[in-house]
Amino acid sequence: MWINYLDQALLLAALAVSVNLLVGYAGQVSVAHAAFAGVGGYAVCFLAGEHGWPYLASLVVAVLVATAFGVVIGLIALGLAQEFLILMTLAFSLGIIGVFATFDSLGGVMGLTGVDGLRLFGFELDGPSDWLIPSAVVLVLVFAVCHRLGESPYGRVLKGIREDTVATRALGKNTFGRKVGIFAITSGLTGLIGGVYSGWLGQATPSAFGFPLAMAVFAMVIVGGNANLVGSIVAGVVLTMIEPVLREVLGVQSTQAALWQVVLYGALLVLVMIVRPQGLFPERSKRVAPPGTGAKATPRSPSAGAPYADAEVVLRADGLSKRFGGITAAKDLALELRRGTITALVGPNGAGKTTAFNLLTGTVVPDTGSVRLNGAELVGMRPDLIVRAGLVRTFQDVRLLDRLTCLENVMLAVPDQPGERLGRLFVPGRAVSRADRAVAAQAMEWLDFVGMADHAGTPADALSYGQSKLVSLARALATRADVLLLDEPASGVDATWVETMLSMVAAVREEGRTVCLVEHNLDVVRELADHTYFMELGEITASGTLAELTGSARLAEAYFGAQ
């Protein structure tokens, strides 16, 4: 009898592991995954139970159908904000369970029952002990897949999405594609688990895969610890065993025991969220590679030091306009950025400087106009592709990924990592881990470049504001983009860090990259900028050297006089 409970515990632990990959790593909360397990369960009972298909073939179909559900629902729901995603997946889950309960061919509210005589690789799956090995194999398989995905460069991108999707996309990662991908993969895994679960149960019923199962799995994920798969296994087994222990050890009646289990789930959830919100087994951070190992990250030729007027135009924007309702945030903007130079964008609050950055980087789509980078049109391109084309930006409010270390923040930005591709992750061999060590070494070099190597293992949320701005510069540099748009790199930073930041930005120019910065601190602009554009009310109304601009009586009165 205890073996029967153990079968169930192993399968629910597997479910918790796969849901943890989606919720704990990628931060996408789905209520539909219990229903996807139901899709797998019904596929098996329908095909193997009702139509005599071989069990293994029906399991394959279970995985494929559940994955297809995941792709379709993911495409619909994952563009939405988190709260809508939860509601949307809840709606889909209710819809799927409703379909199960409605169709006579699926057994209506009673479900498909009496499934037996299943065989796998020649073995008959009759009693609980026959299901022990398949259940354990499923858990090991699901754990292996989820661990490979979660604890790899692929998983780093998932964590980036969880922490800040916009910032992760601004580092050149296809966040929507990744979200749909991980939603589909975890759907397929839950389909497999559901197929084995229904085989073990001998039935697939609407109630077996409904909201209570979804909640039980969430409890396992949260109690075990977000983004900790071992925690999910421990919590999965322990929480599943509550009911049998109540029943068999403490002699509680079976209906009472089921009720107490739900109450204990709830109490445990509340307790964990108050006392230990990170769960019993907290997320682990990437170990820090020793500085100075691996390839040098800055193999660039220094700037030839050409005067601004002679420098080649790398980026040219023309006629860029954007209206937000009644506000004209950008009006017919035209600007040029020249190779190996620093251009500043200055102007009063609300002039449209950040909007200009948003338009250049595709974060906001312009109403009209064009942006050409080395001759290639950027308008209409996805923001992550724009980064890969060579144009990266930082944010006024920094947007580091708080729960990731400084090293992980910078590693995430390194482009073309083999471990971010599914096709490479599951190829045997050590190529991915070797490549990841090289990525870590590169990231260390960039942290070293901005003077933050000693903080490689520090979580980003433990940094001072000035330090976090330096790490965000290292992160932008690690993308290897040629053109950097820095949004207020020195604002809000205390005097000691301003000096450091100034020398960093100047060093970036020295290595031949092109910089455009938005900055209110005119000392910084005076020190760094080769050319300055002045913006007011969404328009560029003057340009030249800062000395020329401050020499204008009108601008001195409108803006510079107040500085």
Contacting positions for ligand ATP (CB under 6 A): 324, 327, 329, 347, 349-355, 396
In terms of CB distance, is 49 or 489 closer to ligand ATP? 489
The answer to whether the Cα torsion of 216, 220, 222, 228 is positive or negative is: negative
Considering the complex, what minimum distance in angstroms separates the CB of residue 522 from ligand ATP?
13
Who's near 400: CB < 8 A, 6+ residues apart? 167, 406, 409, 460, 461, 463, 468, 471, 472, 475
Strand 342-346 versus strand 514-518 pairing type: parallel
- Residue 253's identity, in one-letter code, is Q
Q: Where are the alpha helices (DSSP H) in 329-430?
A: 353-360, 383-389, 406-413, 422-425
* Cα–chain center distance at 467: 23
Considering the complex, what minimum distance in angstroms separates the CB of residue 319 from ligand ATP?
18
CB of 138 within 8 A of CB of 196?
Answer: yes
Q: How many whole angstroms separate alpha carbon 96 and alpha carbon 30?
A: 14
Q: How many whole angstroms separate alpha carbon 396 and alpha carbon 462?
A: 18
Closest CA relative to residue 358, chosen from 383, 341, 338, 331: 383
Considering the complex, what minimum distance in angstroms separates the CB of residue 413 from ligand ATP?
23
The answer to whether the Cα torsion of 478, 480, 485, 489 is positive or negative is: positive
Q: How many whole angstroms separate alpha carbon 162 and alpha carbon 28?
A: 7
In terms of CB distance, is 106 or 329 closer to ligand ATP? 329
CB of 181 within 8 A of CB of 63?
Answer: no
Number of residues that make up the chain: 563
Closest CA relative to residue 23, chosen from 206, 224, 171: 224
Strand 539-544 versus strand 313-324 pairing type: unpaired
Map residue 427 onto helix, strand or coil: coil
Calculate ∠ Cα 155-159-160, nearest 5°: 115
CB of 534 within 8 A of CB of 346?
Answer: yes
In terms of CB distance, is 219 or 337 closer to ligand ATP? 337
* Cα–chain center distance at 385: 17
In terms of CB distance, is 52 or 326 closer to ligand ATP? 326
Closest CA relative to residue 477, chosen from 294, 288, 286, 296: 296
Considering the complex, what minimum distance in angstroms separates the CB of residue 178 from ligand ATP?
24
Distance linking the first and last C-alpha atoms of the chain: 79
In terms of CB distance, is 84 or 324 closer to ligand ATP? 324
DSSP annotation of 247 reads I
Burial of 109 per CB tally in 10 Å (0-12, 13-18, 19+): exposed
Considering the complex, what minimum distance in angstroms separates the CB of residue 514 from ligand ATP?
20
CB of 38 within 8 A of CB of 189?
Answer: no
CA atoms within 13 A on the CB side of 19: 34
CA distances, 547 to each of 333, 438, 536, 544, 560 (Å):
22, 45, 18, 8, 11
Q: Tokens 């020649």 label which residue? A: 122
CA distances, 510 to each of 340, 341, 467, 524 (Å):
7, 9, 22, 17
Closest CA relative to residue 289, chosen from 173, 399, 405, 403: 405
Considering the complex, what minimum distance in angstroms separates the CB of residue 87 from ligand ATP?
24
